[in-house]
């Protein structure tokens, strides 16, 4: 992943040094278990841990040199460790196959990446709740098909997002549990040359769960679900980013990204304040979703093992998690500093001459005895006059001047249907559902 869209804590999970350190721990814990079973000498396990206690530097370049000859990354690593530890290291990897190391390591990396992403989601949820409560009763126009519909509040818009990301967190917790499995089952997964107790020991030491039944690899449906979950979270990122982008349009301008002192919006037009962060988030979300299809295609491996999935995962493991980590942090910053303009929201609410209250008049007419078809016709014909006037006419005044309407409703009854507060009476109920009673 390019540094521009990377954060250090997530990036380090995918570094070569981290990978080799996890590999060593898998091998050393397995050797411990093999020593307990009497398969290898206890001294072999002790020698490995004695060397590890010196906090050795992992010489990635030296391992690469060996791999250039062996054309096999795990063998290259084992060769290098043996050169460091000495003859006792020959007992490493007894009864194991490369996939035992590679798949178990990937499980650790994806689990640790999920932990960072869960922390990202917690930070975003906290900011969304704070800003939602701040604007709980800030009225704004709700839109359907991009067209003014009925009043909502800006706090409700943020509550929608909070509920969505809370679901994302629950899904990621499940995906984390699903991916955190360990396989130390040897060639084709039969445990023919290694006792299942070794797998259980390594899993316990690494905080994983033994894979109930592996072939020579951990089944890739687990990975597909993990990356699909990241893709859905990315979709939620884009949904909120798109909302901000629309609200920042000049003709809307109900909210906008924070524009810092000295920031420039355009190389040509000094007046520009562009929604560059949320546009960037839209692009990053596309990338994360793009990794879902390869993960799904990895499920169908040949027989007990092939490596068609390997090159894919070397890309999508780091890139999907690093990109989503960056995107969630950026989105949190956008919402935290989002500039909100209640006065502009009110102006937009009032812009179309009260059309946003048309449903209330429709319902009042039906309750007064007018058929729904006639009520719709009466309200619509007056509403279209307001629409054609671009909001310069008032729907309430036109209705009060319409004899067919006033035959059913008094002017005072008509006016009462244009109360903005009516639309906000259940905001508390929604907030309690989303945030609890506090």
Catalytic residues: 145, 266
Other CB atoms closer than 10 Å to residue 403's CB: what's the count?
6
Reference 404, options 432, 382, 426, 419; nearest CA is 382
Q: With contact defined as beta carbons under 8 Å apart, do 129 and 166 qualify?
A: no
Reference 187, options 101, 95, 292; nearest CA is 95
The tokens for 90 are 């020959």
The answer for residues whose C-beta is within 8 angstroms of residue 25's C-beta and 6 or more apart is 205, 206
**Can you spell out the DSSP letters for 300-368?**
--STT--SHHHHHHHHHHHHHHHHHHHHHHHHHHHHHH-EE-HHHHHHHHHTTTTGGGHHHHHHHHHHT
β 255-256/339-340 pair status: antiparallel
Check residue 300 and report its DSSP letter.
Answer: -
The strand pairing partners of 139, in sequence order, are 153
Q: How far is the C-alpha of 48 from the C-alpha of 25, rounded, in Å?
A: 10
The tokens for 220 are 């890739």
Q: With contact defined as beta carbons under 8 Å apart, do 330 and 12 qualify?
A: no
């Amino acid at each position: 992943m390019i540094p521009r869209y990377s954060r250090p804590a997530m990036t380090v999970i995918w570094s070569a040094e981290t990978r080799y350190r996890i590999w060593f721990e898998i091998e050393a814990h397995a050797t411990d278990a093999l020593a307990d079973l009497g398969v290898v000498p206890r001294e072999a396990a002790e020698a490995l841990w004695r060397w590890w206690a010196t906090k050795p530097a992992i010489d990635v370049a030296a391992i690469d040199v060996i791999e250039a000859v062996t054309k096999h990354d795990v063998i290259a690593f084992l060769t290098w460790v043996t050169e460091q530890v000495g003859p006792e290291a020959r007992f490493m990897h007894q009864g194991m196959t490369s996939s035992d190391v590679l798949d178990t390591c990937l499980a650790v990396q994806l689990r640790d990446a999920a932990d960072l992403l869960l922390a990202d989601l917690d930070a975003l949820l906290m900011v969304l709740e704070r800003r939602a409560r701040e604007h709980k009763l800030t009225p704004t126009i709700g839109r359907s098909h991009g067209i003014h519909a009925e009043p909502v509040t800006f706090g409700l818009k943020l509550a929608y997002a909070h509920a969505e990301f809370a679901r994302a967190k629950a899904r990621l917790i499940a995906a984390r549990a699903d991916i955190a499995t360990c396989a130390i089952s040897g060639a084709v997964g039969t445990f023919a040359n290694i006792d299942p107790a070794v797998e259980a020991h390594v899993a316990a030491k690494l905080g994983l769960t033994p894979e109930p039944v592996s072939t020579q690899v951990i089944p890739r449906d687990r990975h597909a679900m993990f990356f699909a979950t990241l893709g859905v979270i990315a979709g939620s990122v884009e949904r909120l980013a798109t909302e901000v982008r629309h609200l920042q349009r000049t003709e809307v301008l109900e909210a906008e990204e924070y524009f810092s002192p000295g920031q420039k919006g355009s190389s040509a037009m000094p007046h520009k304040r562009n929604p560059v962060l949320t546009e960037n988030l839209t692009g990053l979300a596309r990338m994360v979703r793009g990794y879902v299809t390869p993960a799904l295609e990895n499920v169908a491996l040949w027989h007990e093992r092939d490596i068609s999935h390997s090159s894919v995962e070397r890309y999508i493991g780091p890139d999907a998690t690093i990109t989503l980590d960056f995107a969630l942090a950026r989105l949190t910053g956008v919402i935290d500093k989002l500039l909100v303009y209640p006065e502009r929201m009110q102006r937009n609410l009032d812009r179309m001459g009260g059309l946003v209250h048309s449903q209330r008049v429709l319902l009042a007419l039906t309750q007064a005895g007018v058929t729904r078809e006639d009520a719709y016709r009466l309200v619509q014909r007056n509403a279209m006059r307001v629409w054609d006037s671009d909001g310069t006419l008032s729907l309430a005044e036109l209705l009060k001047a319409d004899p067919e309407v006033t035959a059913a409703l008094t002017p005072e009854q008509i006016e009462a249907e244009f109360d903005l507060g009516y639309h906000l009476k259940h905001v508390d109920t929604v907030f309690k559902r989303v945030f609890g009673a506090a």
